[in-house]
Amino acid sequence: MKTVREEQRTTPSVSRTESDGKGMLTVIEQPALPAEVPKLPQAKRRPRYLILQLVLLIGGAAGAGGWYWWRQHQNILPAGIVWSNGRTDAEEIDIDTKFAGRVLELLVDEGDMVKAGQVIARMDTRDLEAELKREEALVRQNEHAVVEAEANVAQMQTQLTLAQQELDRTSALLKRGYATRELYDQRRQTLEGTRQALSASKAHVIEAMHSYDAAQHNAELDKVNIADNTLVAPRAGRLQYRIAEPGEVLPAGGKVFTMLDIGDVYMDIYLPTLEAGRVKIGNDARIVLDAYPNHPIRSKVTFLAAEAQFTPKAVETKSERDKLMFRVKVRIDSDILSKYAESVRTGLPGNAYIRVDPKVEWPAWLRGRSGQ
């Protein structure tokens, strides 16, 4: 048997015909050329890492969907709890100057935590200190005046006693005829004049004492003014802004610092009419920050707006039909704020949940570590 390759070599191929003169055609066979098998294009192989990426992408999408489904089913709220989103905020306190003056030194900076009564700045008080010295000198002067007036009273009291004795003796002599009526009248006038002088001395003592008290009050006022030029933190909190610098001359009421009262941190949320109508002052609440989703914070409702307001653009409402909302203030419990004072921040977004029905139990994910 011939092989395929040998058959390909002997396959006849008619290239031309010739006549033999008798009207017959003769086929001249020529050896065929070797057959060429066309090369098929090879399929490109996809890199394995692309397939791996596709598998990971599909797996990640499935995992994210599963997590979202699980989270939505975990965070289902009962009918007695309403919620909305907002941002944490705190009361701002301006630390101002009481008098016009020059800033002498600043002892703290922005972002520092301060305690109530802590000295944070001092103003230049050289003028007040000089005035205080003058008032203290007046106090000493009036003190000496009081001592002198009291001595005059004692002296006039002695003279009054002597004048009374002389009048008594003259009166006895007049009865016996050993003294004249004129001498008696003189002694009586002397007694009356001494009595009036004693009254004037006593009044002078009172006047000197009033002057002494006024000088003391002026000195105390200077001390108070000097103390008021030492700026202290009215409450515990965090300094938010440093407005003035040492050497600046500020008017009366000029701002030096602005601080946040960390004892009054809250979140303002907006609720539609149906939900806001169920909220009461004192309702138990929870705040869940986006930065700490697993740490609900105990809170209370401390304010409920009496009039509806336009919804701020930053508030995500559940229905576009609710165009007017009621502002509700949810305040974090003070014991939590004092315990975590160093970690208190403002401007953090999150959600506030309010329990409008006290019979409803908080879901597990809103109870926190203490279970309350």
- The whole-number pLDDT of residue 38 equals 52
Angstrom distance (rounded) from CA 155 to CA 198: 8
Structure tokens at 133: 């010295």
Q: Which residues of 105-119 are buried (b: 16+ CB within 10 A; e: fewer)?
A: ebebeeebbbeeeee
The predicted pLDDT at position 59 comes to 62
Better-predicted residue by pLDDT, 183 or 48: 183
Q: What is the pLDDT of residue 69?
A: 45
Is the domain covering 72-91+256-366 a CATH 1.10.10.60 domain? no
Domain range list for the chain: 1-36, 72-91+256-366, 126-228
The residue with greater pLDDT, 215 or 312, is 215
DSSP string covering 265-320, please? EEEEEEE-HHHHTT--TT-EEEEEETTEEEEEEEEEEEEE-SS-EEPPTTS--S-T
More confident residue, 21 or 261: 261
Quick one: what percent of the chain has pLDDT higher than 90?
A: 43
Phi and psi at residue 24, to the nearest 5°: -110, 145
Confidence tier at 246 by pLDDT (50, 70, 90): very high
The pLDDT value given to residue 25 = 44
What pLDDT, on the 0 to 100 scale, is given for residue 122? 95
E strand map for the chain: 14-19, 25-29, 81-96, 101-106, 113-114, 119-123, 230-232, 237-242, 249-250, 255-271, 284-289, 292-304, 309-310, 324-332, 349-355
Q: At a CB cut-off of 8 Å and minimum separation 6, what does 168 contact?
A: none
Number of helical (H) and strand (E) elements in the chain, helices listed first: 6, 15
Question: What is the pLDDT at residue 227?
Answer: 93
- What is residue 55's DSSP assignment? H
pLDDT tens for each residue of 68-80: 444 444 457 888 9
Structure tokens that stand for 125 in this block: 């008080």
pLDDT at 33: 45
**Average pLDDT of the chain to the nearest whole number:** 81
**pTM: predicted TM-score of the whole model, two decimal places:** 0.59
- Mean pLDDT of all residues in 107-127: 93
10: pLDDT strictly greater than 60:
no
Contact 219, 132 (CB under 8 A): yes
Q: What is the mean pLDDT of residues 57-86?
A: 67
In tens, the pLDDT along 253-307 reads 999 999 999 889 999 999 988 888 899 999 999 999 999 888 999 999 999 998 8
pLDDT band per the 50, 70, 90 thresholds, residue 61: low
Q: Tens of pLDDT along 138-173? A: 999 999 999 998 898 898 889 888 888 888 888 888
Q: How confident is the model at residue 369 (pLDDT cuts 50, 70, 90)?
A: low
**pLDDT grade for 309, boundaries at 50, 70 and 90:** confident
